[in-house]
Amino acid sequence: MENLDQELARIPEGYRQALEEALKRVPARNGVVSVRDLWLETALPPGLIVELLETDGVQLPPHVVRVDLTGRPRRGRHGRKG
């Protein structure tokens, strides 16, 4: 059971690392990165991206000033819930 607990504790760390790597690759417009671009780059759910940015100490690369959280992907087209 202890191994399972250790593995589960590492999951957020892996997501955080993936997000930090994506922040290095996605385009920054005037120092701003869109949460939509991060979603497209990582395929992580937008809610998880926001949660990681707000609570998990994600380090922004030097060219990124902030992440715009208002451009979250919308549902409702092409057979997705809406």
- According to the model, what pLDDT value does residue 8 have? 62
Distance CA 79, CA 82 (A): 9
- According to the model, what pLDDT value does residue 22 have? 96
Whole-structure pTM value: 0.74
Residue with tokens 């919308």: 74
Mean pLDDT within 15-31 = 94
pLDDT tens column, 37-80:
999 999 999 999 998 998 868 899 999 999 998 865 555 544 45
Helix axes 46-55, 2-25, angle to 10 degrees: 100
Question: What is residue 62's DSSP assignment?
Answer: T
- Closest by CA to 68, choosing from 14, 16, 23, 13, is 23
